[in-house]
């Protein structure tokens, strides 16, 4: 089983710590794992040229196509973004917009997705952020199997929260078995 995590945080912080721990759990149960940090990748913004509507492909030459191929071949996607204004981060939104050529790709249908969205504010904001994040897998007909939106704010908060890290490890183990 191949588990691919994509991190849309702009810093080495909570989202990354949570994704790494989920992947540790999955690897412990025999999965092949990979973490892609979007802050390390050259993924340009969609230019809205709409060329993909005629050709089925995007003319921008950057690292997006390689990431998309990995998505297609993963059994489970773990998508992570910090909550920014009850929504995804700019990096994650930029990435999602580049899916314009691919959101109807039938290879994505029913693919399992775990959504991770830490936020510093209360439950209402974190729930609103998560429901915004959910739109992307839903539009692609992927299947959201788990959601995690813990309240953490300072960059090392998640990593130092033993209870949260234990929960993430268990979540990683569970997604391999389910």
Ligand X SMILES: Cc1cc2nc3c(=O)[nH]c(=O)nc-3n(C[C@H](O)[C@H](O)[C@H](O)COP(=O)(O)O)c2cc1C
Task: Note the residues at the interface with ligand X (CB under 6 A).
Answer: 9, 11, 13-15, 82-86, 118-121, 125-126, 129, 152-153, 155
The CA distance from 28 to 82, in Å, is: 26
**Minimal distance, residue 93 CB to ligand X, in Å:** 12
- Name the strands in the sheet holding 2-7, side by side, starting at the edge strand that comes first in the sequence: 32-37, 2-7, 76-80, 112-116, 143-148
**Minimal distance, residue 131 CB to ligand X, in Å:** 13
For 152, the token pair is: 């953490």
Q: How far is CA 50 from CA 43, 54, 92, in A?
A: 17, 8, 20
Q: Of 58 and 130, which has the nearer Cβ to ligand X?
A: 130
**Minimal distance, residue 7 CB to ligand X, in Å:** 8
Give the nearest residue (CB) to ligand X: 13
Asked if 21 and 152 count as a contact pair (C-beta separation under 8 A), the reply is no
Q: Of 111 and 119, which has the nearer Cβ to ligand X?
A: 119
**Minimal distance, residue 10 CB to ligand X, in Å:** 6
Q: Of 25 and 119, which has the nearer Cβ to ligand X?
A: 119
Phi-psi region of 123 (alpha: psi -120 to 50; beta: other; left: phi over 0): alpha
């Amino acid at each position: 089983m191949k588990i691919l995590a994509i991190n849309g945080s702009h810093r080495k912080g909570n989202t990354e710590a949570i994704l790494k721990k989920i992947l540790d759990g999955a690897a412990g149960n025999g999965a092949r794992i990979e973490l892609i940090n979007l802050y390390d990748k050259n993924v340009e913004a969609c230019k809205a040229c709409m060329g993909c509507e005629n050709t089925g492909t995007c003319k921008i030459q950057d690292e997006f196509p390689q990431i998309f191929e990995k998505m297609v071949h993963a059994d489970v996607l773990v998508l992570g973004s910090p909550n920014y204004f009850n929504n995804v981060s700019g990096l994650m939104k930029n990435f999602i917009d580049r899916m314009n050529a691919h959101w109807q790709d039938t290879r994505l249908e029913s693919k399992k997705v775990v959504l991770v969205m830490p936020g510093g504010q209360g439950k209402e904001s974190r729930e609103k952020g998560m429901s915004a994040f959910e739109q992307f897998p839903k539009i692609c007909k992927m299947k959201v199997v788990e959601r995690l939106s813990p309240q953490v704010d300072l960059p090392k908060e998640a990593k130092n929260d033993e209870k949260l890290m234990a929960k993430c490890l268990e979540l990683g183990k569970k997604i391999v078995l389910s």
